Amino acid sequence: MALPEMDTSVGHSFGLEIDGIVIKQISEVSGLKMEQDVIDLPQNTADGKFMRKKLPGRPKPGEVTLSRGLTNDQSFEKWAKDAQFGKMKDARKGGAIIVYDFEGVAIKRYKLHNAWPKSLEIGTLKAGDTTVLMEKLVIVHEGMEPA
């Protein structure tokens, strides 16, 4: 469902799509950022005045962090193992971060190019604690674009 004109979105839930498989239990996404280098070009104008011109440079790779409650789904672990053991042909993937509305309909996608897991962290294990155990996956990518 498209957003009505002039309305903004509330991220009710998020998903990660890799190889056509969607993991919908993502509770937090951080680091979605498109960035590029800036080239500083000092030059003289036609009338001899010094000025600095800013030009767009190369796109910068980025990192996205995904958090979800710990489940028996082992897709994060398998993907992280592929990268850890140097199976980069299997680990480097294209995918997307998906933002869902309150009805579970995808309202925005951010495509990731050549993404692979940098780290997988399991939250603090504490006996008697009643908080949800979280797993945090940090993905590096070579480019991101809204889709």
- Of the pLDDT bands very low, low, confident and very high (cuts 50, 70, 90), residue 69 is very high
- Of the pLDDT bands very low, low, confident and very high (cuts 50, 70, 90), residue 103 is confident
Average pLDDT, the chain: 89
17 pLDDT higher than 60: yes
Whole-angstrom CA distances from 43 to 9, 55, 56, 58, 92 are 44, 12, 16, 21, 41
Q: What is the mean pLDDT of residues 105-129?
A: 92
Q: Phi, psi at residue 76, to the nearest 5°?
A: -65, -45
CB atoms within 10 A of CB 19: 9
Query: In angstroms, how far apart are the furthest CA atoms of the chain?
Result: 75
Predicted TM-score of the model (pTM):
0.81
- Please, what is the end-to-end C-alpha distance for the chain in angstroms? 15
pLDDT of residue 6: 62
Determine what percent of the chain is predicted with pLDDT higher than 90.
Answer: 58
pLDDT of residue 25: 86
Whole-angstrom CA distances from 58 to 55, 104, 131 are 10, 36, 43
Q: What is the mean pLDDT of residues 38-44?
A: 95
Q: What is the mean pLDDT of residues 16-45?
A: 92
